[in-house]
Every structure is written in structure tokens, then in C-alpha cells.
């Protein structure tokens, strides 16, 4: 792969004007008053702290931010067989992606913005209770690496306020994940990851078509959308996580050669909303379900 050319193209895509609301992660560190619009809200069932803003109709909208990078590693569905782990460990199973900024300045701004977001969350806890933040779990990785992931399942006991939704057939063509859920787990909209391919016409108009997760390759230039969420851990500690919401293929010209081990393509009460941009569902029902997600919140657990 010609890294210099890939980096040039990545910076080009990342710096392009956006259509509609600009929610690029890289803009946070360059916007002095961003905390005037974005606040931290505590939720129950399960307990989390999330970034929200007012949506204008007396509801809260979870902030979803975007950044572009080159895929370094990925662990995406579909699963070919059920993993050999105890059922109690299913709650830890995740799909994940690791992207590199290839040394580009906009990606560096995005990483600096994550530090500012961490600082906003940190003020919600006693000094030192929130674990320090790193953009990647790989301690040997380069400085311009960003990880994002999302759990396949939520334990049913923790999801009393959320409605279970089916796995997309492109992500679970053989119903392996569906069978694993059983009675103990559910797949909710908070667990859902969407996959797209971006199309750009000659006059610059963009559209996004739905694709399966098997579409993506190491080296692809992609745009991912993430939410930042703080969760409790052991010993009255807390951790900020980047939760994967979507992946969109922007440029596949820089992908590495296919691996022989690659998975085959499958056969075919406060209200919180989350808007995943450039989503173009085929029908109104899917539009309502995905673009207007509602979460009821235990008022006693709400944090002022």
C-alpha cells in the first residue's frame, strides 16, 4: 500500500465539507464553547453516563460523532461458528474495529478531542475514580490509533428498559448470534452497528447504501461513527469507552490482498434519541426504529 497516497486521500476525505449537522470528532478541540450544547447525562438500566444534547422536542439526543481512518484490524460479524466460551461470558463478546490516521492532522485533532471529552466526563466523578483514557488498548500501537467496539448482547436483567431487536441477516446469516442470545441475553438498539458504502456522484452528492460487515478489508479508508459512554467497573471505578455505531466504506483502493482465512460472504422518564447520520432505510418502520430510539430513564438514578 502506498501509505503517502493513502494518507493524502484520508486527509482529503476527512476535511471535506459535511452535509447537514457537522458532528466530526475533530471539530470538538477547535470549538471553544462545545460544552454549551453537549452535556453529560446519567442513565439507569444499565447504569451509564452519556453525552447528550436537547433535541428540541423535550427529549434528549445522544451525541454520535464521526472520524475517518484506515482499517488496521477488525473483528466483525458474521460468526462462522459459536465461540467456545461459557455462556456467562457472552456479555463480553464484541465486534470491533481499529483505525489509523496515517499521520494526518485531522485525525490528530480527533484524538485530541477525545481528551477533551474525557475531561468533561471526569468532572462527574471524584478525582481519580475515572480510569485514564487511551484511544487504543494496544500499548505498543502508534500514537494515531483509535479503537471502537460494541457488545453483541446485553444481559436481559440489565435491559429492562430497552426493547430487543433482531440481528440483521447480513450480520447473522446463520442465526448463530440469535441462538446464542437464548433467554439470558438480548440484542438491543444500543448494541446495533450499521454498515454502509458511500457513493459520490460527479456533482458531489453523496448517498449511502447498506452493506454487510464482510465488505470491509484492512487498509480500507472508512468513516466510523461512535458514542462516548462511561460505565462502572469493579471497585467503584469507572471507564470511558468508545461505542461503535456504524462503519462506512469511503475508499477501498488501498486495501490489502484478501487473506485465505477471511470469512466468506454470507448468503444473502427522559427520552434519549440517537441519530446515526447518512442512514437511508428502505421503509418508514425501519426509519422510526433506528432514528428515533427511545430510552426510559429511572428518575431516581438521574444525575443533575
Higher pLDDT pick, 297 / 98: 98
Closest by CA to 211, choosing from 279, 274, 118, is: 279
Report pLDDT digits (tens) over 41-52: 999 878 999 999
Residue showing cell 484511544? 135
Radius of gyration of the chain (CA): 19
Higher pLDDT pick, 29 / 301: 29
Domains of the chain, by residue range, sit at: 3-257
Instruction: Give the ranges where 148-211 is alpha helix by DSSP (H).
Output: 176-181
Interior CA angle at 38 toward 27 and 46, to 5°? Answer: 120
3-state secondary structure of 237: strand
How high does pLDDT run on average in the chain?
86
- 269: Cβ–Cβ under 8 A, 6 or more apart, which residues? 296, 297, 299
How far out from the chain centre does Cα 159 lie? Answer: 19
| pLDDT value, residue 292 | 43
| pLDDT value, residue 202 | 83
| Lowest-pLDDT choice from 100-109, 136-145, 183-192 | 136-145
Query: What is the band of 288 on the pLDDT scale with cuts at 50, 70, 90?
Result: low
Report pLDDT digits (tens) over 82-91: 999 999 999 9
| pLDDT value, residue 162 | 66
Instruction: Give the pTM.
Output: 0.84
Closest by CA to 67, choosing from 275, 292, 214, 245, is: 245
- Please say whether the beta carbons of 245 and 193 come within 8 A: yes
3-state secondary structure of 51: strand
Report pLDDT digits (tens) over 214-261: 999 999 999 999 999 999 999 999 999 999 999 999 999 999 754 444
Query: What is the band of 295 on the pLDDT scale with cuts at 50, 70, 90?
Result: very low
Residue 267 φ/ψ, nearest 5 degrees: -75, 140
Could you give the C-alpha distances from 290 to 9, 86, 140, 143, 278, in angstroms and in order?
A: 31, 31, 37, 34, 12
| pLDDT value, residue 280 | 54
pLDDT for residue 160 is more than 70: no
Amino acid at each position: 500500500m502506498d501509505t503517502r497516497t493513502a494518507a493524502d486521500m484520508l486527509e482529503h476525505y476527512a476535511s471535506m465539507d459535511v452535509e447537514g449537522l457537522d458532528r466530526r470528532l475533530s471539530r470538538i478541540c477547535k470549538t471553544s464553547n462545545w460544552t454549551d450544547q453537549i452535556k453529560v447525562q446519567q442513565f439507569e438500566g444499565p447504569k451509564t453516563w452519556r453525552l447528550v444534547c436537547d433535541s428540541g422536542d423535550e427529549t434528549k439526543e445522544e451525541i454520535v460523532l464521526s472520524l475517518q481512518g484506515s482499517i488496521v484490524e477488525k473483528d466483525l460479524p458474521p460468526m462462522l461458528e459459536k465461540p467456545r466460551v461459557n455462556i456467562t461470558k457472552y456479555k463480553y463478546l464484541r465486534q470491533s474495529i481499529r483505525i489509523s490516521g496515517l499521520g494526518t492532522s485531522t485525525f490528530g485533532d480527533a484524538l485530541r478531542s477525545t481528551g477533551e471529552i474525557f475531561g468533561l466526563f471526569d468532572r462527574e466523578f471524584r478525582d481519580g475514580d475515572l480510569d485514564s483514557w487511551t484511544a487504543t488498548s494496544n500499548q505498543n500501537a502508534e500514537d494515531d490509533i483509535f479503537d471502537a467496539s460494541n457488545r453483541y448482547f446485553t444481559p436481559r436483567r440489565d435491559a429492562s428498559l430497552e426493547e430487543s431487536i433482531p440481528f440483521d441477516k447480513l450480520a447473522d446469516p446463520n442465526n448463530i448470534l440469535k441462538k446464542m442470545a437464548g433467554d439470558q441475553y438480548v440484542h438491543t438498539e444500543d448494541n446495533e452497528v450499521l454498515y454502509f458504502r458511500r457513493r459520490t456522484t460527479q456533482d458531489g452528492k453523496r448517498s449511502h447504501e447498506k452493506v454487510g460487515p464482510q465488505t470491509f478489508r484492512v487498509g480500507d479508508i472508512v468513516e466510523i461513527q461512535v458514542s462516548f459512554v462511561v460505565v462502572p467497573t469493579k471497585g467503584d471505578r469507572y471507564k470511558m469507552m468508545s461505542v461503535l455505531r456504524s462503519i462506512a466504506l469511503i475508499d477501498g483502493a488501498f486495501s490489502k490482498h484478501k487473506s485465505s482465512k477471511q470469512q466468506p460472504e454470507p448468503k444473502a422518564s427522559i427520552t434519549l434519541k440517537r441519530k446515526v447520520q447518512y442512514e437511508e432505510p428502505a421503509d418508514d418502520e425501519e426509519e422510526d426504529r433506528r432514528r428515533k430510539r427511545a430510552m426510559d430513564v429511572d428518575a431516581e438514578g438521574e444525575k443533575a
